Homo-oligomer: A and B are copies of this chain.
Amino acid sequence: MTAIPESARAVLESNRLAHLVTMNRNGDPQVTIVWVGLDGDEIVSGHLAEHQKVRNIRNDGRVVLSIETDKINEMGLQEYLVVYGTAHITEGGAPELLQDLAHTYLGPDVKFPPMDKPPAGFITRIKVDRLGGVGPWAQ
């Protein structure tokens, strides 16, 4: 596990969406877009339902996240963060995490999930193995 430098933490705590790669049982990659946040040195994401990505991570913890930033480098190209990590799933707590992330992603006054009694859901917790992409965090 790698500590996350401040430059990468800022991207992970921003309102930019994360493209999440998980591995299907046959070894093919699957991609969905998720909200992410930080809980100490773990990256967290919440899911109300037992999506394919949840089942995939239970079977194979390898994940990749990629996130665009608003910064343009000296070549005129947009910087971006890639996180190679190892994930596991915990049960419950998704509505509270999603509500917290909704304040970042949708706005300070948004109620999310919108329903009154959402299911407890699942949380993905990602430990960082290495960082890539284009930016000061790239190794």
The distance from the CB of A67 to the nearest CB of chain B, in whole angstroms, is 9
A21, B78: Cβ atoms closer than 8 Å: no
Residue total for A at the interface (Cβ-Cβ under 8 A): 28
| Cβ–Cβ < 8 Å partners of A42 in chain B | none
With A21-B64, A64-B21 as contacts: A112 and B31 at CB distance below 8 Å:
no
Interface segment, one of A3-11, A22-30, A87-95: A22-30
Q: Which residue of B lies closest to A18 (CB)?
A: B19
B21, A76: Cβ atoms closer than 8 Å: no
What is the copy number of this chain in the assembly? 2
A21, B32: Cβ atoms closer than 8 Å: no
- A121 touches B (CB below 8 Å): no
B33, A68: Cβ atoms closer than 8 Å: yes
Of B33, B112, B114, B134, which one neighbours A66 at CB under 8 angstroms?
B33
| Cβ–Cβ < 8 Å partners of A80 in chain B | 17, 33
A31, B64: Cβ atoms closer than 8 Å: yes
Bound complex: CA A82 to CA B31 (Å): 7
Bound complex: CA A66 to CA B31 (Å): 7
State which residues 22-81 of A face B: CB under 8 Å.
23, 27-33, 62, 64, 66, 68, 75-76, 78, 80
Binding site for B on A (CB under 8 A): 17, 19, 21, 23, 27-33, 62, 64, 66, 68, 75-76, 78, 80, 82, 84, 106, 110, 112, 114, 132-134
